[in-house]
Every structure is written in structure tokens, then in C-alpha cells.
Amino acid sequence: MHYISTRGQAPALSFEEAVLTGLATDGGLYVPENIPQFSREQIAAWAGLPYNELAFEVIKPFVDGEIEDADLKDIIDRSYQTFRHSAVAPLVQLENNLWVMELFHGPTLAFKDFALQFLGNLFDHLLEKRGQKVVVMGATSGDTGSAAIEGCKRCKNIDIFILHPHNRVSDVQRRQMTSILEPNVHNIALEGNFDDCQNMVKASFADQSFLPEDRQLAAVNSINWARIMAQVVYYFHAALSLGGPHRAVSFSVPTGNFGDIFAGYIAKQMGLPIEQLVIATNANDVLHRCISNNDFSKQPLVHSLSPSMDIMISSNFERLLFDLYNRDGEAIRQLMSDFNNGQASMEETALAKARELFSSYRCDDDRMVEVIAREYDNSDYLLDPHTATGVDAARACRRGTDVPMVCLSTAHPAKFPEAVRKAGYPQDPPLPHHMADLFERKERYTVKDNDLKTIQEFVARNL
């Protein structure tokens, strides 16, 4: 299995090289040269498998023998031992054929744990084998950072630097990152928004001359293919739990950076019978504007009550565009250049393909708060603001009630007490017992100006 860049000018890499490289040298994102295919009979044979065993079956073709089966199984087993529910990703029914899949039972209470517990163990295995050390540099709108730190904090071959937008993540999200005091962990609060953090990381990957000669950057953001690969698994898990592959299943996915729903698209390409994929956005709605009105333009970023989706530059959307444009790297380079200059639109044929694959929806803060309140009143089930966006999108966009619709519940409501209180919940939702002392833990982080040279000097000084 080779991995190629969406912009067509970087060399093809092996799985191991793609994982450790992250962003391609031409600015593109790595994708598999070919998507593995499973027959309906193969998928049906996985019904009833424990989550870790299903993960091995789904992930194995992407690795293509570069890691021994026994080692890959061990990496996967260790990654999901840390989850606090025996089903790993349990399904909860809200109404007839409408379900939420709870993806918040990992160590940091967010869906990012599925990919980043795996990626941390994968990094450790590959780096130990190569006798190599790397610098992990990542940007977070809230959840990726804590999950990445949790996955990498014990890795002796990694120094990790996470940038978050100063005062633009929830207190719980910040403390989950900044209360990890291992010496290889560095939190940077950037005076800017998430897109500024993400641009800083991308610029650093493009020119790594600020690092010592024996170090390179490795990516934990969803630009790293291994993260997408790990997220594909829970689409198979949900579908098999609801009668797949003998019946189709639909999914509604709250998303800002497009990685989580892109994993659903990959699952569909692999043979999973997915009827509908619904893109649920908040007021930062570039994905909805693009699908509904062909408006692929930058707009000012809005600070919302669902901060993990406060993203205007959806990096993983480029991976989809690469397929929509028949894997034409030159066309993607031009399209992304137009977008970076402030205005872009898709060719009509590409837009038509996107609309066949996806529905889209926008849910602002006022509407999201209503959804949380209504669901709690009706069923005593408390949604976090991102999941509420997905539930609202599911109800608005589903084409009928005969196909099960699964909303990805991406975070625990305790991470977002402000939104929950606005919905009328009488108190801050309690943190799980293993995190009950979070607000008593010591914090360590550094506030930095939105300046690339300043950030890169800080990284180099702390290696």
C-alpha cells in the first residue's frame, strides 16, 4: 500500500513513512493510493466481534504487512484498554431508529481518544523500531490536544507541543491539557483562533529548519492518515450493531475539520452500506455553505458554545475534494490556492458528486441550546453541544425513519458546562470520578503571541 499526496507533487510513501511524515512536502495530505474493499460476506462475518478485534480487521489492510499482525493487535489492544465502557462505543436509542453512538468513554471524554490512543501507541512502536525521536506539533480547538497529550505523554521518543487558542476553549478542555506535567509535554496558548494555530503548525511542517538536524515533526492532527484510519472502525461497529451489512445505516456527524465524517466516507468506499452522511456544522459553516450553495470561501470565525467546531479551514475536506476531482493534484493545488486567497467554488461536476454523498446542515447556538433542553426534558438524556448539533441535523436531514440514523456523540457534556447551563440544566454536569479533581490539579502552559518565529524558537528551546 502506497500513500500519495492530494496535491500530486510529493513522493509516494509507505504506511510507516506517511504516519511519521504527516503533511506532505507539497502542502497536501496523504491518502491511500487504493482504498481496501470488503465484501458483504466479510463484513457480516465480523458481527459480534469485540471492538478491538473489529479494529484489527478494518485497520490491517491499510498497514499492508508493514507491522507484524501480533504487534498490530498489541497496539490496538493497548489503545482501547483505557476506555471505561466494555462496549467501547455504546449505542443509546433516542427514538425510533434514531441513536447516538457515545464516543466519549476514553480517557479524555472525547471521540479524539479513538484515534489518538492508537496513534500514540503506533508512534511508540515505529520510533522504537527505528531508534528515532520526533517532535509532535499539533493544533487544537479543544479536544484533540488533550487526547494527543494523553496518547503521547508516556512515549520516551516524543516531545509534544500543542497550540490552543487562548481563552477560546472550555475550562475543562484547557485543564485536561495543561494539568499534564510530564517533562515532554508543552502547552502553548496562542493569542489567536484555531485557524491561526493550525496555520502555524502547517507552516512549521513546510519548513522544519528551526529543528535540530536529528529531529523531524510528526503530526497528531487529523492531517495524519492513521487518525482517519482508526476512526473508520466505529462506523463498522455501529452498522454491525444495527443489523449491517444486511441493512443500510445513516450517520449524522458534528464536524469542523471534516476528519470524522471523512472516515465515514472511507467506510462507505470500503463496502459498508451507508445510506446517508449528514454534515452537521455550527455557525462556522463553511462545509454547509459549500455543499448547499457552492460557497467555498473564508468567512470570519465565530466564537460559539460548541468550540471544537469553531473552524473555518477544514483541512480534511481537501481529501474529499481530491476524490471529487478524480485525484487531479494540480486541480486541488489551484482550488486550495483560491480558497487561501479568500474565495473559491467547486466545479459543478464535483459539487454534484458531493451532494450525492452528503447532506449538510447549520445549527447556531440558540438552536443548539433548544435541542439540549428538549432532549433532556423528553428523555433525561443530556447532550453536549456538538452532539446536539448532530441530533438536530439528523432530524432535519434524514430521508425517512426506516433506515437507522446514528448521531456521533463526540464529547461528554461535562466538558461544556456553559452550554448545558444555558439549556436549563440546574448545575454543571459532574465530571466522571477519574476526573473529579480536575479543577484542583496544577496547571502549566505558556501564552504566546501569534507569531511563527516566536513559536518555533520556543519549540527549539524546549527540546
Which residues are tagged catalytic?
A: 112
CA dist 348 and 405 (Å) reads: 29
CA dist 343 and 345 (Å) reads: 7
Q: What are phi and psi of 344, to 5 degrees?
A: -155, 155
> Which three-class secondary structure string do you get for 37-104?
CCCHHHHHCCCCCCHHHHHHHHHHHHHCCCCCHHHHHHHHHHHHCCCCCCCCCCEEEEECCEEEEECC
> Under a CB-based contact definition with an 8 Å cutoff, are residues 60 and 234 in contact?
no
> Under a CB-based contact definition with an 8 Å cutoff, are residues 164 and 174 in contact?
yes
> Under a CB-based contact definition with an 8 Å cutoff, are residues 448 and 148 in contact?
no
Element (H, E) at 365: helix 365-379
Beta bridge partners of 136: 160, 218
CA dist 351 and 433 (Å) reads: 47
Across the beta sheet with 249-254, the strand order is 91-95, 98-102, 405-409, 249-254, 274-281, 358-362
Beta bridge partners of 110: 411
CA dist 276 and 383 (Å) reads: 22
Say if strands 3-5 and 30-32 run parallel, antiparallel, or are unpaired.
Answer: antiparallel
Write the Ramachandran bin of 138: left for phi over 0, alpha for psi from -120 to 50, otherwise beta.
beta
Residue 189 exposure: Cα atoms within 13 Å on the Cβ side: 16
- Close Cβ partners of 82 (under 8 Å, ≥ 6 residues apart): 106, 107, 113, 117
For residue 433, count other CB atoms closer than 10 A to its CB.
8
CA dist 145 and 161 (Å) reads: 9
CA dist 320 and 339 (Å) reads: 15
With both helix axes pointing from N to C terminus, report the angle between 143-152 and 112-130 in degrees, rounded to the nearest 10.
Answer: 40
CA dist 90 and 238 (Å) reads: 8
